[in-house]
Amino acid sequence: MLWEAVSAIHDLGRLYDLTLILIRYGFTGFVRRLGLAHAFEQAGRALHWKAVEELVQLNTAQRVRRALEEMGPAFIKLGQILATRVDLFPPDWIAEFEKLQDRVQPLPFEALRSQLEEDLGAPVEQVFAEFDAEALAAASIAQVHLARLFSGERVIVKIRRPRIEEIVEADLRLLERLVRVAEGEVKELRRYRPVEIVHQFAASLRREMDLENEAHNAERMAANFAHQPWIVIPKMYWEFCSKRLNVQAYIEGVPARKLQLAEALGLNRKILARRGTDAVLKMILIDGFFHADPHPGNLIFLPGNRLAFIDFGMVGRLSEARRHQLVDLLAAVIDRDARSAVGVLLDWAGEAQVDMDALLTDVDIFIDTYHGLPLKQLKIANILGDLTNLMRTYHLVLPPDLALLFKALLTLDGMGRQVDPDFDLIVAATPHVRHALMRRYRPDVVLKRGWRTASELFEIIAAFPYDMRRLIKAIKTGSLRFNVDLNQLNYFGWILDRAASRLTVGMVTSSLIIGSSIVMTVSGGPTLWGLPMLGVLGFAGAGIGGVWLLISIWRGGHLPHGEKED
């Protein structure tokens, strides 16, 4: 297990740096449980176990956030992903993760010029009439510059940092090894599904590093809002876009954070809040493709009470089935049907084992808390907070797409209240939910769903004779087999293998002792230290076998690698 964590020799230096950061922020016990301290001490590298005194004043969530900041870009991104997991972490942890800012010092333009010109296929001066060498903004993956095309349009040039893919991939390899070791060594971590979170994080980060993917996301979003002129999505200049480069139209307006300036320019905050909310709810309930981080930094207010969405590096996707589950959950809450609500929650949580009676009781209490309240008294933050607390209590973990959705709704609610203090997301969402319900049972949609079901049924019926013929043939020839997957079968096999190995070694050891004793009584032949050589070697072999047997018995209570305790 330890060897898996440090098997990549070229990552050892980075692993050592991360270990020191964890120790410095007071996670000494965690490092020791992972076995990393012992590995480095064996390698002759001293670790200093005293934590910084100022950290005594920080709680655990604050120390984790500070450690992630110091670990670098990939771990900052991980913290930002964890900020979406309201189902796993309590509000104080989410608040700390939200403080993680992906802001770094921009690189000098000359450090980017050669890569930029390689992606453009020409010198910068031949592509852009003007190019601002001073970065407009910088993050760990890319930085942004203003420019002007020869046609006169002002554009944003987003350039990926050189070698960032190599750096991120190395950190992802290391992070996955550490998480696998942690999941095996620290039992209480398992319920958080850390390996699953890391896989989600790695996929999200790889998509974010592909700047061409961001352009595809923006273009898809623009197509979804083609008939709504009050929503603006920046135009992509595809002739310049690639994995390392993104060129898009520069949108000049009022950043959503500058609300007083928006009012001074005559913009109506209530209309802006309603249109922004309508846009995000349409993305979620109708399109199934939504901006996963609709905070004020990603919104620009434009004349005519229009809004522009920018930065589509992180988007969420909801399948039709998932959107139906959302509507089902809402209908269950409205109808006070706790059993149906529990069914949706269990569908989301997968194979989690829970006390159904207790969960039904708590869900019924949850529904009763909000049932009958006027819409104005319903707060989305309170509802989602209570729901995620309930899921944490029963160790029910949201799928990644719903974790992003919950986070987007909470962000939208906060943004809406900043723009319009009287904003109420529940009131704003009600017509969209009704529309989603009506759309779900529209004749053309029902007909399409029925046609799909009928097609699948026809395929099953058409294949039935062939499948029956194969089944009968298998029965006649005696080749019919049943594959049974038992959770504990691997462990049981391991136990049998261990027992057989011990029995074999014990028998061989006993035979060596008996045979060597007989040899000792026979005179003649080669000697060693005045004793028959074959007898001495036989006793030595028996001694080694006995020691191995004792060690095997002593370690017998340990589970095999990869197995989890019940």
User: What are the pLDDT digits (tens) for 445-490?
Assistant: 667 767 777 777 888 888 888 888 888 888 878 777 766 655 555 6
User: Per-residue confidence at 286, pLDDT binned at 50, 70, 90?
Assistant: confident
Calpha distance 176→184 (Å, rounded)? 12
Q: Is 337 annotated in the active site?
A: no
Neighbours of 514 (CB within 10 A): 12
Average pLDDT over residues 96-116: 83
The first and second tokens of residue 57, run together, are 């004043």
The first and second tokens of residue 290, run together, are 């939504």
Helix (H) or strand (E) holding 130: strand 128-131
**Residues making up the chain, counted from first to last:** 566
Q: CA–CA distance from 462 to each of 456, 466, 467, 468, 470 (Å)?
A: 10, 8, 10, 11, 14
If phi > 0 it is left, if psi is from -120 to 50 it is alpha, else beta; for residue 85 that is beta
pLDDT, greater one: 14 or 344? 344
Would you say residue 235 has pLDDT above 50?
yes
Residues 199 and 303 in one domain: no
- Is 129 inside a domain boundary? yes
Residues 331 and 418 in one domain: yes
Residues 278 and 354 in one domain: yes
Of 48-62, 73-87, 186-200, least confident by mean pLDDT is: 48-62
pLDDT at residue 448 in the model: 72
Q: Exposed, middle or buried by CB within 10 Å (0-12, 13-18, 19+), for 417?
A: middle
Residues 507, 512, 514, 519: what is their CA dihedral angle, to the nearest 10 degrees? 160
What sign has the CA pseudo-torsion 191, 195, 201, 207? negative
Residues 386, 389, 391, 394: what is their CA dihedral angle, to the nearest 10 degrees? -130
Give the three-state DSSP class for 531.
Answer: strand
Boundary (domain end) residue, out of 216, 235, 250 = 250
- Is 95 inside a domain boundary? yes
Would you say residue 277 has pLDDT above 90?
no
Would you say residue 46 has pLDDT above 60?
no
pLDDT, greater one: 425 or 59? 59
User: Which among 24-28, 343-347, 484-488 has the top mean pLDDT?
Assistant: 343-347
* Residue at token pair 């992003």: 404
Would you say residue 202 has pLDDT above 50?
yes
Of 27, 356, 344, whose CA–CA distance to 189 is shortest? 27
pLDDT at residue 4 in the model: 45
Residues 86 and 98 in one domain: yes
Calpha distance 54→43 (Å, rounded)? 30
- Residue of 87, 171, 278, 293 marked active site: 293
Residues 166 and 277 in one domain: no
Boundary (domain end) residue, out of 212, 233, 250 = 250
pLDDT at residue 7 in the model: 47
- Is 559 inside a domain boundary? no
User: Per-residue confidence at 6, pLDDT binned at 50, 70, 90?
Assistant: very low
DSSP-assigned letter for residue 89 = S
pLDDT, greater one: 86 or 228? 228
pLDDT at residue 102 in the model: 60
pLDDT, greater one: 232 or 495? 232
Would you say residue 68 has pLDDT above 70?
yes
- b/e per residue, 290-307, with b = 16+ CB within 10 A? bbbbbbbebbbbbeebbb
Calpha distance 396→348 (Å, rounded)? 8
Please provide the DSSP assignment of 227-272 as one string.
T-TTEE-PPB-GGG-BTTEEEEEPPPSEETT-HHHHHHTT--HHHH
Under a CB-based contact definition with an 8 Å cutoff, are residues 513 and 523 in contact?
no
Calpha distance 416→271 (Å, rounded)? 11
User: Which among 60-69, 453-462, 496-505 has the top mean pLDDT?
Assistant: 60-69
pLDDT at residue 559 in the model: 46
Chain-centroid distance, C-alpha 79: 10
Give the three-state DSSP class for 204.
Answer: helix
- Is 288 inside a domain boundary? yes
DSSP-assigned letter for residue 106 = P
Residues 399 and 284 in one domain: yes
Calpha distance 87→399 (Å, rounded)? 10
- Is 561 inside a domain boundary? no
pLDDT, greater one: 147 or 187? 147
Boundary (domain end) residue, out of 417, 436, 455 = 436
pTM, rounded to two decimals: 0.66
Give the three-state DSSP class for 353.
Answer: coil
Of 55-64, 227-236, 262-271, 375-384, least confident by mean pLDDT is: 375-384
Q: Exposed, middle or buried by CB within 10 Å (0-12, 13-18, 19+), for 551?
A: exposed
Of 418, 383, 208, whose CA–CA distance to 301 is shortest? 418
Chain-centroid distance, C-alpha 439: 31
pLDDT at residue 562 in the model: 44
Would you say residue 24 has pLDDT above 70?
yes
Average pLDDT over residues 34-56: 55
Would you say residue 225 has pLDDT above 90?
yes
- Is 566 inside a domain boundary? no
Residues 494 and 470 in one domain: no
DSSP-assigned letter for residue 433 = H
Calpha distance 214→207 (Å, rounded)? 8
pLDDT at residue 144 in the model: 93
How many domains, in total, are found in the chain? 5
pLDDT at residue 487 in the model: 52
Residues 133 and 206 in one domain: yes
Residues 262 and 406 in one domain: yes
- Is 379 inside a domain boundary? yes
Calpha distance 199→80 (Å, rounded)? 14
Q: Which amino acid is at 154?
A: R
pLDDT, greater one: 560 or 9? 9
- Is 368 inside a domain boundary? yes
DSSP-assigned letter for residue 288 = S
Q: With pLDDT > 90 as the criterion, what percentage of the chain qualifies?
A: 18
Residues 449 and 468 in one domain: yes
The number of helix segments (H) and strand segments (E) in the chain equals 23, 13
Would you say residue 38 has pLDDT above 60?
no
Calpha distance 143→164 (Å, rounded)? 12
User: Per-residue confidence at 47, pLDDT binned at 50, 70, 90?
Assistant: low
User: Per-residue confidence at 1, pLDDT binned at 50, 70, 90?
Assistant: very low
Neighbours of 398 (CB within 10 A): 21
pLDDT, greater one: 169 or 327? 169
The CA angle 467-470-471, to the nearest 5 degrees, is: 85
Average pLDDT of every residue of the chain: 78
Give me the phi and psi of 412, to 5 degrees please: -65, -40
Would you say residue 254 has pLDDT above 80?
yes
Q: With pLDDT > 70 as the criterion, what percentage of the chain qualifies?
A: 77
The first and second tokens of residue 96, run together, are 């700390």
Q: Which domain holds residue 456?
A: 442-481
Under a CB-based contact definition with an 8 Å cutoff, are residues 284 and 435 in contact?
no
Q: For 291-306, what is each residue's pLDDT tens digit?
A: 887 777 788 999 999 9
Under a CB-based contact definition with an 8 Å cutoff, are residues 197 and 81 in contact?
yes
Would you say residue 197 has pLDDT above 50?
yes
Residues 79 and 169 in one domain: no
Residues 408 and 452 in one domain: no
Average pLDDT over residues 393-420: 78
pLDDT, greater one: 515 or 154? 154
HEC profile for 480-511?
CCCCCCCCCHHHHHHHHHHHHHHHHHHHHHHH
Would you say residue 351 has pLDDT above 90?
no
Would you say residue 276 has pLDDT above 80?
yes
Calpha distance 436→288 (Å, rounded)? 11
Average pLDDT over residues 495-514: 73
Report the interhelical angle of 380-393 vs 425-440 (nearest 10°): 70
Would you say residue 185 has pLDDT above 90?
no
